Amino acid sequence: MLLKKNYVKYCLSIMAVTALVVASGCAKATDAVSAATAGVDLSDLPNASDMVKTNTSSSNARVDLSQFRIGASIGDIFAVSGTPPILSQINDNNADTYFWNGLVATFNQQNYNPTQSEKQQFWGGADGGPGGGGACYMSQSVAQSFGRMLEAGTSLCYMRNMPTATSGVTLDTAIAAAELFSQQADDKIVKVAASMPGEGTMHVFIKVFGSNTVTSDVYKVRLWFCQNGVSDGSEEVSVNTASGVYSASSEHSGQWGTGKSTISAYLKQNTAGAFVFDSSKSRTADSHFQGDWGTFKGNVTITSDDKIYAKMLNKNSYNNTEWINKNYTVASFSGSNLADLRFLAGGFKGASSGTGYSENSYSGGTEFQNTHYVATNTSTLKTEAELLDFTTDSYYASITSPSIDVSSNDCSATPNINVTMDFADAAVAAISAKCEGEKLLENMNYCNSAAVQAAQQKTWQ
């Protein structure tokens, strides 16, 4: 299945961002990046979604999920039984099962009036009851933060496969495709024309900054996207090869919404010489987006002890009521990337309010037991999460509409190299189908589904 126009744009952006960062030659660095990179193949580069990975030196990373049982503690943090769901597979249809154990469906029965005890359970406030809204927002806040940035999680797949296409990809130079984005002394611009049946041609400009501009210790690229001579977004990435520091920023506007995102991390080389995110160091992602689904901002930090710290502030409308949801999460996780990320246990703190409704605050802990997340007040993660104060933390003070600036994106820039991609070609279509199948975390808004919001309203009655 061919990608939609906006998705292709985003794929091209992140695939170039992630691949270009390292393809240029991060030659010598500290423990984050070492050894020469000349001649590194794209298959050696990390997928952007791999930044969510357990640290092999962490005790939690060595846990076998099949060995979890009730009462089996891991570092006195949590006890888990059964196998928690993969985050990317949670959706509107199964969220009630995993987080509320069917309570949402019960609330939404005609003329059903929940008891005070059930209302407490809805938010995850009853020890031994369902994890509820707190547990749900624990996962959704992380899913949305990464999802808004990594909707094109298959982008590196495109970069890895594009040079191998037997047809459909054309360069107007004799340079090898694998060397297309290598750093030179002077700046160079690569222009990619993506031709899509029935949707015209989209142009992606990729500026590779030369060592004369950013010095040989820095690799930097900037991308901007143009359709019919108008730009609606850009990406910028840099790597300091002396320290291994990786940073990326983006801003986009399209059918999926308008917003900005950033990623900060470190890179290193494994024993095979392939580049990977350094899981022994913290990795941070931040996003701020707005669409017909509402306004969202989220911040996620992944630490070397396999914990995720996530802040989320979300505004949306339902039945002519504006809802504000605040959430803070401290969670333990397992996984090698976003494709198999599972939350094992967590502590959370949240507050939800709507026009005409007083704010409802909640906090608690949760762990997966057998078939769903269960509320628990014994977790040290709960204690840690409750230390945050929404009234004094400036992150939760307000949520405004994000704005982007595309005024510097020159859609008439003269490229040094031209590349064309024909999405009607069988070889490119095959790559598209392969990579689209690996797409992650799209439309992760299961805690705000119509069913959940309808049930939520009854907690205030």
Helix (H) or strand (E) holding 117: helix 116-122
The C-alpha angle 120, 121, 126, rounded to 5 degrees, equals 85
**Among candidate residues 420, 434, 436, 433, the one with its CA nearest the CA of residue 167:** 420
Cβ atoms 336, 90 nearer than 8 A: no
Residue by residue, pLDDT tens for the chain (461 residues) are 223 344 344 333 333 333 333 333 333 333 334 333 333 333 455 666 777 777 765 544 433 333 333 333 333 345 678 899 998 889 999 999 999 999 999 999 999 999 999 999 998 888 999 999 988 988 887 777 676 655 543 444 665 676 677 888 888 988 877 677 788 889 999 898 887 777 778 888 888 888 899 988 888 888 888 988 999 888 888 877 778 788 888 888 876 688 888 888 888 877 876 677 888 999 998 889 898 878 989 898 999 988 989 998 989 887 788 888 898 989 888 888 777 888 899 998 988 888 877 888 888 899 999 999 999 988 889 999 999 999 999 999 999 999 899 999 999 999 999 988 888 899 888 887 776 655 544 557 899 899 999 999 888 77
Rounded Cα–Cα distance for residues 331 and 353 (Å): 24
Rounded Cα–Cα distance for residues 250 and 148 (Å): 11
The C-alpha angle 59, 62, 66, rounded to 5 degrees, equals 130
- Provide the pairing of β-strand 78-79 with 73-74: antiparallel
Q: Name the token pair of 451.
A: 């069913």
Cβ atoms 52, 302 nearer than 8 A: yes
Q: Name the token pair of 299.
A: 């911040």
Q: DSSP string spanning 283-348?
A: EEEEEEEEETTEEEEEEEEE-TTSEEEEEEEEEEEETTEEEEEEEEEEEEEE-SSTTS-EEEEEEE
In the numeric block, the tokens 């982008």 are attached to 155
* Residue range of the domain that includes 217: 5-457
Tally of domains in the chain = 1
Cβ atoms 91, 98 nearer than 8 A: no
- Provide the pairing of β-strand 245-254 with 218-227: unpaired
Q: Name the token pair of 30.
A: 């500290």
pTM assigned to the model: 0.78
